[in-house]
Amino acid sequence: MIIAVDGPAASGKGTLAAGLARHYRLPHLDTGLLYRAVGRAIAGREDSADFEAAAIAAARALDAAHLTDLAVLTSAETGVLASKVAVIAEVRAALFAFQREFALQPGGAVLDGRDIGTKICPDADVKLFIQADSKARMERRAKQLEERGLIVDRYVLYHQIEERDSRDMLNPHGGFYKAADAHLLDTTLLGIEAALRAAIEIVDRDMALKAGG
């Protein structure tokens, strides 16, 4: 079973995808980490002439070992860098095979990102599109960072999330919209447990329908 979980920055899609993976005992790939690792590899070079070439080379050289430094990869600054490399078509193409291979492993997988249901796994068994309003998303991300002992400026964080949202929405090579066959789950007013229960209900219902029909 392949489960695709998409949604904007800090919508809760990563937490939900991890919860679904635990529940169904499936491996989980947070595809944002791939773009974050590429963004990190070219940090400080965003304004240089070789920015695109360096990002493409970093994407082509990426392997699982580059995805382990979560403290650096999950920072808000790395998120902004990730959205800058994510607009480069060759970067997306270089990361495609890694994601596709992960999805097609025996038994299936849960992948979360922006274009899983539209581009990476249009054939997923169940697709979820997670949504939450931007203030709720900022507050959740602020709490996550504070739990790690970081000091958070909510004004700056809000604008980082907005900057990423607009770059992502305009990404000409993206596919950052809800697939026609994805279920919309708005988590603005839901806690983690309630959101996970709702997601599991959707997956169970879809799988029962598939088995029956």
Binding site residues, ligand C5P, CB under 6 A: 9, 31-32, 35-36, 79, 82-83, 86, 113-115, 164, 168
Instruction: Lay out the sheet containing 126-131: strands in order across.
Output: 28-30, 109-113, 2-6, 126-131, 183-186
Nearer to ligand C5P, 122 or 207 (CB): 122
From the CB of 6, what's the least distance to ligand C5P, in Å?
8
**Whole-number Å distance between alpha carbons of 185 and 198:** 8
Nearer to ligand C5P, 86 or 182 (CB): 86
Nearer to ligand C5P, 83 or 131 (CB): 83
Query: Amino acid identity of 87?
Result: V
From the CB of 205, what's the least distance to ligand C5P, in Å?
25
Identify the CA nearest to 13 among candidates 148, 206, 204, 176.
176
What tokens appear for 42 in the block? 């070219």
Burial tier of 212 (Cβ tally within 10 Å: 0-12, 13-18, 19+) = exposed
The closest residue (CB) to ligand C5P is 32
Nearer to ligand C5P, 174 or 203 (CB): 174
From the CB of 92, what's the least distance to ligand C5P, in Å?
7
Strands (E), 59-105: none
From the CB of 68, what's the least distance to ligand C5P, in Å?
15
**Whole-number Å distance between alpha carbons of 12 and 32:** 13
From the CB of 208, what's the least distance to ligand C5P, in Å?
28
Nearer to ligand C5P, 12 or 32 (CB): 32
From the CB of 35, what's the least distance to ligand C5P, in Å?
3
Nearer to ligand C5P, 166 or 205 (CB): 166
**Whole-number Å distance between alpha carbons of 110 and 45:** 33
Please state, in angstroms and as integers, the Cα–Cα distance from residue 69 to each residue in 7, 75, 139, 144, following that order.
Answer: 23, 11, 24, 16
